[in-house]
Amino acid sequence: MRSLWFVVPVHGRLPLARICLRQLRRTCDALREHGVEASAVVVSDRASLEAVDVLGLKFAWVVRDNDFPSAKFNDGIQLATDPRFNPSPVEYVVPCGSDDWVDYRLFKEPLPQGNTIFGFQHMSFVREDGREICSPKIGYSGGSGIRIIPSRLLEPLGYRPADEDRRRGCDTSILSNIRRAHPGLEVKHWHLHIRQIVDWKTPGVQLNSYKEVTAIHGADSPADPFEELADFYPAEALQEMRTYYDSLAWAAA
Amino acid sequence: MKYLLLEVRGQRQYRGHHPGAQFVTKLDPALERGIARGNVVMIAEVEPSLAERDFGLPEDWPPPAADAAHTEAPEGASSISKGGKEA
């Protein structure tokens, strides 16, 4: 059976992170049913790890402050892949945000072989009020920040592929350093459907707002997120998210 | 790869790090120049690692199949336990 871990740094927006991590648990369970031994490692300060109930979710964890998000990715990736720390190192890691949902079918076989990483240029963004979703194509050669990375490619980098002192652009740093170690590296893009990855925006702290994302990548045809996602994600998860956005609206009123 | 723990000196930021801040990064030519100019000072040579962190694996990890593939039975252990139902 193939093995794969999602690597998820958490900082702030804990109610949203809790919902997304619960959905990630469902994603991992679905993958196990389809032949991939999947789990996740959550990296955050101790209070946040407790708040998102990382033990209850049966995920791995690393305690780390938020000074350098890139170091959080490195910690999680190292725990997943380095045989010095993991008795059964995984074959693949997927850096992922704590505000993202992913369709489990992206991570089934076939998984990347040789000097290849799988990337995703199609993803969806939900507006901060939860009332609009759009699905632009991310035109970057590396696609979105979510990628399936074979662990074998990380060994020459000491299983810590990101620059240690980055506060932004962690995914770019990871890809650039892997490219440097493997000059023939190829990023192949998978496309399952336009809602295959969903990034949930909320008011407050986040690196890129819905407005900024749509200004850069375009907004295609905006739609209602809960109607659009019903075909791809569990009703239970959608209901949790709807309740969360309703609570934000109620608090703002 | 050589990694250094550095501290920013003077009144100006260095690569986004505030004066007095400490950070870990790879040694490269630009950093060598920064050190030579006194913008940053090396505190120590370090190996960034999970070893300094508190961490835990999932309670069901390694998975049973990996267990069987990667570990040997302890000496004297039976290859079948409790009718094989716990395998």
Among the partner residues B23, B55, B67, nearest to A79 by beta-carbon distance: B55
DSSP-derived 3-state class of residue A205: coil
Average pLDDT, chain A: 93
Is 70 exceeded by the pLDDT of residue B76?
no
pLDDT of res. A144: 87
How many Å is the Cα radius of gyration of chain B? 24
- Residues of chain B with C-beta less than 8 angstroms from the C-beta of A158: 1, 47-48
pLDDT of res. B67: 52
What predicted TM-score, i.e. pTM, was given to this entire model?
0.89
Among the partner residues A39, A61, A163, nearest to B55 by beta-carbon distance: A61
pLDDT of res. B81: 33
A89-98, A158-167, A203-212: range with lowest mean pLDDT: A203-212
Identify the CATH number of the domain in which residue A76 sits: 3.90.550
B82 vs A222, residue with greater confidence: A222
Which residue bears the tokens 């336990």? Answer: B81
Instruction: Find out whether B41 and B9 touch, Cβ atoms under 8 Å.
Output: yes
Q: How many contacts, defined by CB atoms under 8 Å, are there between A and B?
A: 79
Alpha carbon A36 to chain centroid, angstroms: 17
A85-94, A130-139, A189-198, A210-219: range with lowest mean pLDDT: A210-219
Interchain pair A165, B25: CB under 8 A: yes
pLDDT of res. B71: 42
Interchain pair A163, B25: CB under 8 A: yes
Element (H, E) at A95: strand A92-95
Q: Is B54 on the interface with A (CB under 8 A)?
A: yes
Instruction: Find out whether A170 and A145 touch, Cβ atoms under 8 Å.
Output: yes
Is 50 exceeded by the pLDDT of residue B79?
no
Is 70 exceeded by the pLDDT of residue A182?
yes
| Position A149 confidence tier, pLDDT thresholds 50, 70, 90 | very high
Which residue from A193, A5, A10, A232 is spatially nearest to A111, judged by alpha carbons?
A5
Is 60 exceeded by the pLDDT of residue A64?
yes
Is 60 exceeded by the pLDDT of residue B2?
yes
Domain with A163, as residue range(s), is: 2-252
Nearest chain B CA: its distance from A213 CA (Å):
24
Q: Is the ipTM of this complex over 0.90?
A: no
**pLDDT tens digits along B56-75:** 999 889 888 665 444 444 33
Interchain pair B53, A160: CB under 8 A: no
**pLDDT tens digits along B43-57:** 999 999 998 889 999
Nearest CA in chain A to B22: A165
How many structural domains comprise chain A? 1
pLDDT of res. B78: 36
pLDDT > 70: what percent of chain A? 98
Among the partner residues B16, B66, B71, nearest to A167 by beta-carbon distance: B16
- Residues of chain A with C-beta less than 8 angstroms from the C-beta of B59: 55, 58
Question: Which one of B17, B40, B57 makes the best mutation probe of the A interface by having the most chain A beta carbons within 10 Å?
Answer: B57
Alpha carbon B11 to chain centroid, angstroms: 31
Instruction: Find out whether A101 and A20 touch, Cβ atoms under 8 Å.
Output: yes
Average pLDDT, chain B: 77
Interchain pair A87, B71: CB under 8 A: yes
Nearest chain B CA: its distance from A132 CA (Å):
35
pLDDT of res. A23: 98
Name residues whose C-beta falls within 8 Å of residue B35's C-beta, 6 or more positions apart in sequence: B6, B41, B42
- Residues of chain B with C-beta less than 8 angstroms from the C-beta of A82: 50
Length of chain A in residues, anyone?
253
Which residue bears the tokens 């299983």? Answer: A159
Name residues whose C-beta falls within 8 Å of residue B5's C-beta, 6 or more positions apart in sequence: B22, B23, B24, B42, B43, B44, B45, B46
Is 80 exceeded by the pLDDT of residue A219?
no
Question: Which one of A21, A72, A164, A180 makes the best mutation probe of the B interface by having the most chain B beta carbons within 10 Å?
Answer: A164
Q: How many CB atoms lie within 10 A of CB A48?
A: 20
Determine the average pLDDT of the residues in B2-8: 92
